[in-house]
Amino acid sequence: MAVPKRRVSSAKGAKRRASAWTLDAPSIAKCKNCGEYVKSHTMCGACGHYNGREVVKIEED
């Protein structure tokens, strides 16, 4: 069984824990209806379409 021989310093443990704190850019896709950039799995705010069908009717001023 693997057991550490010496105590791990607090700085070393903190560095190991903090290594997973990376930020990822949000995944962006184009709307199939209007071509506007939209976050994935989200309704398009410009035209109201999601997954190829109209979910919300957007009134144009």
Give the model confidence (pLDDT) of 17-44 as tens digits.
999 888 888 899 999 999 999 999 999 9
Kindly state the tokens that stand for 24: 């990822």
Residue 60: what pLDDT? Answer: 74
Residue 1: what pLDDT? Answer: 79
Question: Which pTM does this prediction carry?
Answer: 0.57
Residue 2: what pLDDT? Answer: 86
Kindly state the tokens that stand for 4: 């550490």
DSSP state of 28: E
Distance of CA 8 to CAs 14, 19, 55, 56, 58, Å? 10, 16, 54, 55, 58
50 pLDDT more than 90: yes
